[in-house]
């Protein structure tokens, strides 16, 4: 790992770089390319100071900067918001050599990437994630998309960015609940590929549980770098999610179903935390995780996630809604569900078409009483 004052650059298949460090926000122009004249900065309403800094820096370097404020969270990822941005690009005369910058959390980077992918069949995009979730997941990999009433990210495109800038300094102002939710995606990378991540989380919690859940976590930058490396290696091997890349969806089929059933009032990481426990239990039911080692790995899912303050259970009595949402998952083929499960620590595999009775039984193992707290 690099020193605290030296940015880390992680290449994604040699196609683009993810830069991680302190004070790297000013490097956006380095990633835009020489031919860009016009830049659209897409941002949420919660980042006025960062937006002003970024647009000021770009204007000082001679770019014609256009700014679009979009709704916060999942409300940004709609066809109506995307259409408004397309209209702005058209009025401003954006050409194929111009670019979009996504400044914000994962919903903003998803939206900005999709608008860039669809305008003139593809213009450049630089992603500047400002949340932990955005840094380790949404902004890296080139998956872009918006939601519909029928499900999350059902409309989208694969569109690799020109680069990604992860300025860890911005996490100091991130609400703790959002940082903890982002840690769920980091933990996911630990279970599917890099167990050192789990060791670092458990060490931090043991040393100071409150600090482990904050931007003061002494291992936070290393956790970010390790999670980005996992994603970069998988994405480089499978850009369009035809095979290996599906492992990055560990816990996501059930987690996305929770998000949809809850009308996106749950944070993504909270839902994915429950989703990981669900597929761990499913793997035990299907025999993929067996014996004392399998039992211990299922228990480790709960202990790691709960130590960070993430939920590991979901309300009982909602199976029909959840199953309907799961069957709309992007990874499904026809009526056949495809889920990622573990055969052991860092040994993911695909589970195709599991019996409905086993799916429901796993739900029973993550269900809680109706009067129990949701989070």
Does 78 score more than 60 pLDDT? Answer: yes
Query: At residue 166, does pLDDT exceed 60?
Result: yes
Q: Which of 173, 201, 227 is the last residue of a domain?
A: 173
Active site positions, annotated: 121, 143, 185, 231, 241, 245, 249, 252, 256, 268
Task: Supply the range of the domain harboring residue 289.
Answer: 176-218+240-368
Segment 177-191 mean pLDDT? 96
Q: Residue 331, annotated ligand binder?
A: no
- Global confidence as pTM: 0.90
Largest CA distance in the chain: 63
- Indicate if the pLDDT at residue 203 is higher than 70: yes
Q: What is the pLDDT of residues 11-70, one digit of tens each?
A: 998 889 999 999 898 889 889 988 899 999 999 999 999 999 999 999 999 999 999 999
- The residue with greater pLDDT, 2 or 147, is 147
Let me know whether 103 and 185 are in one domain: no
152 is in an annotated binding site: yes
CATH number of the domain that 207 lies in? Answer: 1.20.1090.10
First to last CA, the chain: 34
Q: How many domains does the chain have?
A: 2
Q: What angle do CA 33, 231, 125 make, to 5 degrees?
A: 25
Q: What is the pLDDT of residues 244-283, one digit of tens each?
A: 678 999 999 999 999 999 998 999 999 999 999 999 999 9
Neighbour-count burial for 88-122, b at 16+ CB within 10 Å, e otherwise: bbeeeebeeebbbbbbbbbbbbbbbbbbbbbbeee
Query: What confidence tens digit (pLDDT) does each residue in 310-335 have?
Result: 999 999 999 999 999 998 865 555 56
What is the torsion angle, in degrees rounded to the nearest 10, for the CA atoms of residue 96, residue 117, residue 111 and residue 105? -90
Which range (69-73, 98-102, 124-128, 151-155) has the least confidence? 151-155
> What are the tens digits of pLDDT across the range 212-226?
999 999 999 999 999
Residues forming beta bridges with residue 67, ordered by sequence position: 41
74 is an annotated ligand-binding site residue: yes
For residue 348 the two structure tokens come to: 């993911």
**Same-domain status, 334 and 246:** yes
- Give the integer Cα–Cα distance in Å for 40 and 94: 9
Q: Do 154 and 28 reside in the same domain of the chain?
A: yes
Mark whether 325 and 279 lie in a shared domain: yes
Percentage of residues of the chain with pLDDT beyond 90: 79
Q: Is 99 annotated as a binding residue?
A: no
Question: What's the rounded Cα separation, in Å, for the pair 325 and 343?
Answer: 25
Mean pLDDT of 175-196: 96
How far apart CA 279 and CA 201 sit, in angstroms, is 21
Asked if residue 248 is part of any domain, the answer here is yes
Q: Are residues 59 and 151 in the same domain?
A: yes
- What's the mean per-residue pLDDT of the chain? 91
Assess whether 38 and 148 both reside in one domain: yes
């Amino acid at each position: 790992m690099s020193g605290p004052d030296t940015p880390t650059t992680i290449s994604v298949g040699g196609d683009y770089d993810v830069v991680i460090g302190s004070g790297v926000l000013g490097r956006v122009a380095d990633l835009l390319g020489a031919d860009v004249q016009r830049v659209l900065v897409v941002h949420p309403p919660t980042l006025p100071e960062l937006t002003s800094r970024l647009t000021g820096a770009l204007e000082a370097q001679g770019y014609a900067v256009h700014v679009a404020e979009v709704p916060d969270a999942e409300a940004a990822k709609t066809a109506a918001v995307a259409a408004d941005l397309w209209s702005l690009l058209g009025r401003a005369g954006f050409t194929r050599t111009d670019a979009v910058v996504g400044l914000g959390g994962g919903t903003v980077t998803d939206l900005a990437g999709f608008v860039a992918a669809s305008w003139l069949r593809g213009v450049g995009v630089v992603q500047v994630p400002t949340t932990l979730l955005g840094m380790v997941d949404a902004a890296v990999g080139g998956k872009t998309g918006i939601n519909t009433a029928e499900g999350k990210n059902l409309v989208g495109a694969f569109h690799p960015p020109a680069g990604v800038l992860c300025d860890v300094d911005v996490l100091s102002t991130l609400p703790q609940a959002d940082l903890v939710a982002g840690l769920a995606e980091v933990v996911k990378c630990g279970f599917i590929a890099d167990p050192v991540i789990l060791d670092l989380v458990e060490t931090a919690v043991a040393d100071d549980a409150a600090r482990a859940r904050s931007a003061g976590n002494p291992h936070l930058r290393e956790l970010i770098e390790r999670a980005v490396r996992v994603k970069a290696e998988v994405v480089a091997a499978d850009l369009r999610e035809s095979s290996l890349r599906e492992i990055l969806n560990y816990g996501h089929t059930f987690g996305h179903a929770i998000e949809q059933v809850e009308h996106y009032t749950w944070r993504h990481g909270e839902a994915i935390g429950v989703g990981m426990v669900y597929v761990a239990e499913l793997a035990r039911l299907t025999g993929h995780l067996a014996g004392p080692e399998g039992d211990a790995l299922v228990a480790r899912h709960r202990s790691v996630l709960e130590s960070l303050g993430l939920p590991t259970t979901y309300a009982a009595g909602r199976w029909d809604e959840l199953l309907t949402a799961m069957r709309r998952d992007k990874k499904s083929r026809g009526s056949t569900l495809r889920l990622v499960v573990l055969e052991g620590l860092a040994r993911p595999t695909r589970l195709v078409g599991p019996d409905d009775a086993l799916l429901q039984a796993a739900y029973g193992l993550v269900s809680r009483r109706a009067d129990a707290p949701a989070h």
